[in-house]
Amino acid sequence: MNTNEITVQKEGFFKKWGLVIGAIVLLIFVLMPTIEGLTVAGQRMIGIFLFAVIVWMSSTVSYPVSAIIIMTLIAVLLGTAPDIADTTKLMGTSKALKMGISGFSSTAFLLVAAAMFISVAMMKTGLDRRIALTMLSKVGAKVSHIYLGCIACGFVLGFFVPSSTARVACVLPIIMGILNIMDIDHRSKFAG
């Protein structure tokens, strides 16, 4: 084989048809009779959820595009569903969007999002690597000492980052930095 040839990798079936499969599953949930004990809006949300999972698993479209598609589906499909309080009227798109994005106003969501931002900032600035190198210089390269160093690192971070979720998000890039510095496979027993 000539090294100058460009090999084109074929797309998999699921990647190629994921959006269509997701739309079919969604359509089935929209058109099927309402499941007993479930509202029309609830059944449509299950369909939208399954659509989202299929689209994300297949990577048919990028995440920002899928977010726009999903929010549009929530507005349209829930907006045309009967209102939960008064089933003679439709819910309407403004109420549907309000219901659809209400989960993002949760304090738990904001806490996890902030923790992820801290984690990414540590990786971008190289703070994770500096902390990992400092810790390795203090504890050495013995596995049990590295474990104790990670525990001590989490303990020290506890004074600056009171949330355990955010603290784990800060310790994770440090541990990944240790694995990268020591050139350890991320799937190895030690990495686990």
Question: Which pLDDT belongs to residue 56?
Answer: 92
Q: Could you tell me how far CA 191 lies from the centroid of its own chain?
A: 22
Question: Which pLDDT belongs to residue 7?
Answer: 47
Looking at every residue in the chain, the average pLDDT score rounds to: 84
Question: Which pLDDT belongs to residue 11?
Answer: 65
Mean pLDDT value across residues 32-40: 90
Has residue 28 got a pLDDT over 90? Answer: yes
Tens digit of pLDDT for each residue in 5-26? Answer: 554 455 678 788 889 999 999 9
Positive or negative: CA dihedral 176, 179, 184, 190: negative
Has residue 171 got a pLDDT over 80? Answer: yes
Nearest-angstrom CA–CA distance, 76 and 93: 6
Q: State pTM to two decimals.
A: 0.56
